[in-house]
Amino acid sequence: MPFKERMMETHETKTPETVRYLEDLQVGQRFHSATHTITADEIKVFAYEFDPQPFHLCEASARTSIFGSLAASGWHTAALTMRLLVTSGLPIDGGLIGRGGEIAWPRPTRPGDVLRVEAEVARTTPSRSKPDRGTATFEVRTFNQKHEVVQELTMNLMLPRRLTESQKRTIARPIGRLSVSAEVNEASPIVQPARSDVEDGGQSARRAADIAVAL
**Residues that bind its own copies in the complex, under the rule CB under 8 A:** 46, 49-55, 64-68, 73-76, 78-80, 82-83, 86-87, 94-108, 152, 158, 177-178, 180-181, 184, 212-213, 215
CA distance 2 to 114: 21
Tell me phi and psi for residue 75, to 5 degrees. -70, -25
CA distance 35 to 37: 7
Residue 6 or 147 with smaller CB distance to its own copies: 147
Sign, CA dihedral 166-168-169-172, equals positive
Q: How far is the CB of 115 from its own copies (least distance, A)?
A: 13
Beta bridge partners of 97: 158
Give counts: helices (H), strands (E), the chain.
7, 5
Q: Are strands 30-37 and 97-104 parallel, antiparallel or unpaired?
A: unpaired
Residue 87 or 196 with smaller CB distance to its own copies: 87
3-state SS, residue 71:
coil
Q: How far is the CB of 90 from its own copies (least distance, A)?
A: 11
Q: How far is the CB of 197 from its own copies (least distance, A)?
A: 27
Q: How far is the CB of 85 from its own copies (least distance, A)?
A: 9
Residue 120 or 152 with smaller CB distance to its own copies: 152
Residue 7 or 187 with smaller CB distance to its own copies: 187
